[in-house]
């Protein structure tokens, strides 16, 4: 992942060195941003950014400042990651907390795909959906319920078959889940499901109709649309 993830891992007190203290106890040698930059040459030149990110992680409750050493404060303030504050560091949570929606959008952009369908009447249509980490793809039920063909850009049906399609028994729940034996989009990070709270900020990602897109949705004949590589009509003009 990125800078915030590297900082959180580096300041883990369980991996810090210790020295003998009074009464035979060991004292943790808490580390500094200067130590971090010395151990991570790929982040050289990012001192001010690293200090700023530490402040954001402190505000998020997953990092703590625990003192300092003699010398310039930016380099000598010591930090400690809060153990078990982040359940899955590899998911990217630290960077999402530190940098917000732009990094989330960049990281998960490939997990949101257009869903091109052919209705029972043979008419084309298009929707959108997103990939979960555990081999599921979620889309709107009304998008695929009456479709005779469903295409997810990047999924190769000849190499990975669809195991099942699930709809809610509640008609007002417009959700469909497509299940596969493994991820249908290899190498693409998928979303985890969490527990949202009221008033949480929301990032919307998808393929809604746009007034600059011409032609029938789903047909490869749109022009002047968003410059996205996933646009169904990007290659046709």
Q: pLDDT per position in the chain (237 positions), as tens?
A: 799 999 999 999 988 888 887 777 788 899 999 999 999 999 999 999 999 999 999 999 999 999 999 998 888 999 999 988 888 899 999 999 999 999 999 999 999 999 999 998 999 988 899 999 879 999 999 999 989 999 998 999 888 889 999 999 888 899 999 999 999 998 999 999 888 889 888 888 876 554 544 443 443 333 333 334 444 443 333
Tally: H helices and E strands in the chain: 7, 11
Q: Is residue 161 part of a domain?
A: yes
Q: Is residue 143 part of a domain?
A: yes
Same domain (yes/no): 78, 8: yes
Last residue in a domain, options 161, 180, 199: 180
**CB burial readout 151-181, b (16+ within 10 A) else e:** bbeebeeeebeeeebeeeeeeeeeebbbebe
Same domain (yes/no): 86, 117: no
Same domain (yes/no): 145, 69: no
Residue 117 CB burial class (10 angstroms; 0-12, 13-18, ≥19):
buried
Residue-number span of the structural domain to which 168 is assigned: 110-180
Reading the block at residue 182, the tokens are 């493994």
Asked if 218 and 151 count as a contact pair (C-beta separation under 8 A), the reply is no
Same domain (yes/no): 91, 37: yes
Asked if 206 and 128 count as a contact pair (C-beta separation under 8 A), the reply is yes
Same domain (yes/no): 94, 123: no
Q: What is the CATH number of the domain that holds 129?
A: 2.40.10.10
Q: Is residue 194 part of a domain?
A: no
Helix (H, G, I), strand (E, B) or coil at 9: helix
Q: Is residue 221 part of a domain?
A: no
How many domains are there within the chain? Answer: 2
Same domain (yes/no): 116, 158: yes
Q: Is residue 232 part of a domain?
A: no
Closest by CA position to 83, among listed 1, 11, 3: 11
Element (H, E) at 15: none
In 60-186 the beta strands, taken as DSSP E runs, fall at 63-68, 77-81, 112-119, 124-131, 136-139, 147-152, 162-167, 176-180
Same domain (yes/no): 14, 91: yes
Q: Is residue 197 part of a domain?
A: no
Instruction: Please calculate the CA angle 192-56-51 and round it to the nearest 5 degrees.
Output: 125
């Amino acid at each position: 992942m990125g800078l915030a993830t590297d900082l959180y891992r580096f300041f883990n007190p369980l991996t810090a060195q210790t020295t003998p203290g009074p009464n035979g106890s060991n004292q943790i040698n808490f580390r500094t941003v200067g130590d971090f930059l010395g151990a991570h040459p790929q982040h050289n030149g990012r001192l001010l950014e690293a200090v700023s990110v530490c402040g954001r992680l402190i505000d998020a409750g997953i990092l703590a400042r625990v003192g300092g050493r003699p010398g310039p404060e930016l380099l000598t303030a010591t930090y400690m990651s809060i153990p078990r504050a982040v359940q899955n560091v590899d998911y990217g949570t630290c960077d999402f907390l530190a940098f917000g929606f732009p990094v989330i959008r960049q990281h998960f952009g490939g997990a949101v795909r257009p869903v091109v369908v052919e209705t029972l009447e043979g008419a084309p249509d298009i929707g959108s959906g997103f990939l979960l980490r555990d081999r599921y793809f979620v889309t709107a039920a009304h998008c695929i319920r009456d479709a005779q063909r469903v295409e997810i850009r990047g999924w190769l049906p000849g190499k990975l078959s669809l195991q099942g399609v699930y709809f809610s028994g509640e008609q007002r729940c417009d959700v469909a889940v497509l299940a596969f034996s493994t991820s249908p989009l290899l190498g693409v990070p998928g979303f985890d499901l969490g527990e949202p709270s009221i008033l949480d900020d929301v990032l919307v990602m998808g393929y809604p109709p746009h007034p600059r897109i011409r032609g029938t949705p789903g047909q490869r004949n749109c022009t002047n649309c968003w410059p996205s590589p996933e646009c169904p009509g990007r290659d046709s003009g």
